């Protein structure tokens, strides 16, 4: 303490002021960092919330007296960490009109005096709200609106107008609804609302483009799109299957494979009709069929010739004639064959390997590839396998492989850099500013203390002091010039 007091008294007024200011700033900064470090940790309660839903949720949080903060322009609601799950369950347990739609909770507090018309309107609102909530549970849909056009039915009149539905969906960024999802939405609405057919449900996206295809011209467009999707699916399936085998054999990234499938898009219907006559096992000859009816007629000619008939009768000759008619029926066989589009007409396979292969290895690799994709030479399928060295030599560039490898490595590094940057933990900017402020204050205090120190003075030993004093006395007594040699202090 004595040394501290002596050092403090030895400082000048300016140095004392600077030291007090520096210590005060450091203490205030330390207190601020401590307060910032121990502030309440807010976590996400709900994110990507629309403005109407955020208003309803914040009103409920105010009623529950739960502290909250808003982020991302009001689209994210934050609450303290220890209250996240408890508050989320409480809010979701309330009958809040989320997504701008109300479901069957509209009847929770129903008024017994409401009219039948109001009940019908509330029922339609409830159906639309429940359908909206169900559609929002589908992956890739951010928001949705459902409109039902229900014809009015009366006691003494019945309209022939069919009920219809229209749905507007807003998809999430970089997401497109598949045709199966659109068809599933149509079936969902048709199964939820009476008397609605799936074809009467229209689905639009946020750009106003119809996702459903109904009608003649649109049906043809939908069929062409379905065929294109079928071809793309077949290509991708066989390519992935072949790539899996090649990667397991040569290693990942050592081969390039592609498969193109040519589909038969023709649809035909052939009907064949054949007559099957009946055959008898006992009679020989050509088949004649089965007798289903027989008719025999006999005619007497006695009345036509009177005398002759009598004479003939006496002589014992027959004067009658007859005929027999028979109806036959044969069997019939009808066969009908339908050829649906989608059959494989031809396959073409191309494989490129990095390292050159011998002829024997090429033949074995062709066999493996052919069996993997189901190649049929009688159908006209083709397969070709080359190495990168052969292709580079054919192009007249010996360094094509090295340049391609360098370009691939650069592309991989460029693609990996953003991922690594995202993977690094982000340093809070408050800590950076706090560290910079501490460093600046430390430098300022060090500069003030260094400047406040008195200049260092040279000290003499006892012997040097006595010798110097002796020389001064001799110089004063003799009033002559001091010696040039042998003295510590020489006059210039």
pLDDT at 486 exceeding the cut of 70: no
Confidence band of 369 (pLDDT split at 50, 70, 90):
very high
Q: Residue 303 has what pLDDT?
A: 53
Q: What is the pLDDT of residues 196-251, one digit of tens each?
A: 888 889 999 888 888 886 554 455 556 666 778 788 888 999 999 999 999 999 98
Q: What is the pLDDT of residues 268-308, one digit of tens each?
A: 888 888 877 766 554 555 555 666 677 777 776 655 555 54
Confidence band of 118 (pLDDT split at 50, 70, 90):
confident
Confidence band of 476 (pLDDT split at 50, 70, 90):
confident
The pLDDT mean for the chain works out to 76
Report the 3 state secondary structure along the chain.
Answer: CHHHHHHHHHCCHHHHHHHHHHHHHHHHHHHHHHHHHCCCCEEEEECCCCHHHHHHHHHHHHHHCCCCEEECCCCEEEEEHHHHHHHHHHHHCCCCCHHHCCCHHHHCCCCCCCCHHHHHHHHHHHHHHHHHHHHHCCCCEEEEEEEEECCCCCCCCCCCCCCEEEEEEEECCCCCCCHHHHHHHHHHHHHHCCCCCHHHEEEECCCCCECCCCCHHHHHHHHHHHHHHHHHHHHHHHHHHHHHHHHHHHCCCCEEEEEEEEEECCCEEEEEEEEECCCCCCCCCCCCCEEEEEEEEEEECCCCCHHHHHHHHHHCCCCEEEEEEEEEECEEEEEEEEECCCEEEEEEEEEEECCCCCHHHHHHHHHHHHHHHCCCHHHCCEEEEEEHHHHHHHCCCCCHHHHHHHHHHHHHHHHHHHHHHHHCCCCCHHHHHHHHHHHHHHHHHHHHHHHHCCCCCCCCCHHHHHHHHHHHHHHHHHCCCCCCCCCCCCCC
The residue that leads in pLDDT, 53 or 307, is 53
Q: Residue 492 has what pLDDT?
A: 41
Q: Residue 242 has what pLDDT?
A: 93
The residue that leads in pLDDT, 431 or 77, is 77
Q: Residue 404 has what pLDDT?
A: 56
pLDDT at 350 exceeding the cut of 90: yes
Q: Residue 96 has what pLDDT?
A: 67
Q: What is the pLDDT of residues 96-117, one digit of tens each?
A: 666 656 666 666 666 667 777 7
Confidence band of 57 (pLDDT split at 50, 70, 90):
confident
Q: Residue 280 has what pLDDT?
A: 54
Q: Residue 210 has what pLDDT?
A: 86
Average the pLDDT over 168-193 and give the result. Answer: 87
Q: What is the pLDDT of residues 313-346, one digit of tens each?
A: 444 555 567 777 777 777 778 888 887 777 888 9
Confidence band of 26 (pLDDT split at 50, 70, 90):
confident
In angstroms, rounded to a whole number, what is the distance separating the alpha carbons of residues 247 and 466?
A: 95
Confidence band of 484 (pLDDT split at 50, 70, 90):
very low
Confidence band of 353 (pLDDT split at 50, 70, 90):
very high
Average the pLDDT over 132-137 and give the result. Answer: 86
Q: Residue 419 has what pLDDT?
A: 44
Q: Residue 409 has what pLDDT?
A: 61
Confidence band of 140 (pLDDT split at 50, 70, 90):
confident
Average the pLDDT over 38-61 and give the result. Answer: 79
pTM of the model: 0.43
pLDDT at 169 exceeding the cut of 50: yes
């Amino acid at each position: 303490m004595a040394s501290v007091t002596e050092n403090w008294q030895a400082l000048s007024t300016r140095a004392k002021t600077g030291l007090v200011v520096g210590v005060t700033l450091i203490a205030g900064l330390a207190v601020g960092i401590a307060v910032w470090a121990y502030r309440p940790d807010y976590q996400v309660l709900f994110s990507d919330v629309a403005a109407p839903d955020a208003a309803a949720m914040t009103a409920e949080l105010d009623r529950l007296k739960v502290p909250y903060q808003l982020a991302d322009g009001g689209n994210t609601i934050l609450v303290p960490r220890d209250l996240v799950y408890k508050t989320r369950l409480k809010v979701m347990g309330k009958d809040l009109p989320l997504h701008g739609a109300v479901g069957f909770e509209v009847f929770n507090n129903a008024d017994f005096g409401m009219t039948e018309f109001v009940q019908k309107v509330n029922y339609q609102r409830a159906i639309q709200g429940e359908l909206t909530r169900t559609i929002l549970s589908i992956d890739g849909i951010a928001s949705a609106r459902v409109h039902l056009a229900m014809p009015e039915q009366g006691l003494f009149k019945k309209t022939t107008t069919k009920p219809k539905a229209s749905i507007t969906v807003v998809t999430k960024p970089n997401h497109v609804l598949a045709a199966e999802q659109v068809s599933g939405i149509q079936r969902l609405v048709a199964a939820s609302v009476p008397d609605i057919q799936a074809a009467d449900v229209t689905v639009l996206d946020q750009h106003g483009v119809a996702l459903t295809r109904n009608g003649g011209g649109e049906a043809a467009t939908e069929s062409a799109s379905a065929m294109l999707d079928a071809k793309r699916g077949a290509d991708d399936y066989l390519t992935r299957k072949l790539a899996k085998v090649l990667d397991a054999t040569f290693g990942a990234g050592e081969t390039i494979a592609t498969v193109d499938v040519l589909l038969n898009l023709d649809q035909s219907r052939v009907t064949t009709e054949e007559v099957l006559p009946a055959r008898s096992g006992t009679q020989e000859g050509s088949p004649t069929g089965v007798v289903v009816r027989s008719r025999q007629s006999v005619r007497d000619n006695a009345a036509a010739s009177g005398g002759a008939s009598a004479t003939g009768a006496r002589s014992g000759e027959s004067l009658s004639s007859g005929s027999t008619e028979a109806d036959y029926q044969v069997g019939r066989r009808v066969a009908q064959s339908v050829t649906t589009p989608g059959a494989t007409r031809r396959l073409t396979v191309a494989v490129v390997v990095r390292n050159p292969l011998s002829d024997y290895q090429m033949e074995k690799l062709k066999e493996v590839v052919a069996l993997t994709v189901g190649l049929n030479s009688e159908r006209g399928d083709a397969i070709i396998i080359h190495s990168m060295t052969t292709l580079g030599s054919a192009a007249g560039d010996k360094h094509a492989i090295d340049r391609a490898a360098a370009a691939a490595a650069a592309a991989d590094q460029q693609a990996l850099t953003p991922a690594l940057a995202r993977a690094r933990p982000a340093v809070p900017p408050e800590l950076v500013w706090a560290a910079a402020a501490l460093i600046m204050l430390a430098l300022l205090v060090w500069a003030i203390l260094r400047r406040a120190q008195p200049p260092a003075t040279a000290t003499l030993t006892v012997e040097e002091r006595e010798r110097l004093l002796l020389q001064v006395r001799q110089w004063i007594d003799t009033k002559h010039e001091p010696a040039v040699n042998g003295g510590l202090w020489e006059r210039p």
